[in-house]
Chain A
Amino acid sequence: NAGVTQTPKFQVLKTGQSMTLQCAQDMNHNSMYWYRQDPGMGLRLIYYSASEGTTDKGEVPNGYNVSRLNKREFSLRLESAAPSQTSVYFCASRRGWDSQTYEQYFGPGTRLTVT
Chain B
Amino acid sequence: KQEVTQIPAALSVPEGENLVLNCSFTDSAIYNLQWFRQDPGKGLTSLLLIQSSQREQTSGRLNASLDKSSGRSTLYIAASQPGDSATYLCAVCGGSNYKLTFGKGTLLTVNP
Interface residues of A (CB under 8 A from B): 4, 33, 40-45, 48, 50, 56, 58, 90, 92, 97-101, 103-109
Contacts and interface: CB of A to CB of B under 8 A. Distances in A.
Contacts of A98: 98
Contact of B99 (A42, A48, A101): A48
Nearest to B46: A103
B43 A107 contact: yes
Contact of A45 (B34, B43, B99, B103): B99
Interface residues of B, number: 24
A45 B93 CA distance: 12
B102 interface: yes
Contacts, number: 57
Given A100-B51, A101-B51, A108 B100 contact: no
Interface in B13-32: 31-32
Interface in B22-72: 31-32, 34, 36, 41-46, 49, 51-52
Given A43-B100, A98-B98, 18 more contacts: A33-B100, A41-B104, A42-B105, A44-B102, A45-B100, A90-B44, A99-B98, A100-B32, A100-B51, A101-B32, A101-B49, A104-B46, A104-B91, A106-B36, A106-B46, A108-B43, A109-B42, A109-B43
A14 to B, nearest CB: 24
A33 B101 CA distance: 13
Interface of B: 31-32, 34, 36, 41-46, 49, 51-52, 89, 91, 93, 97-100, 102-105
Nearest to B53: A100
A104 B89 contact: no
A76 B65 CA distance: 35
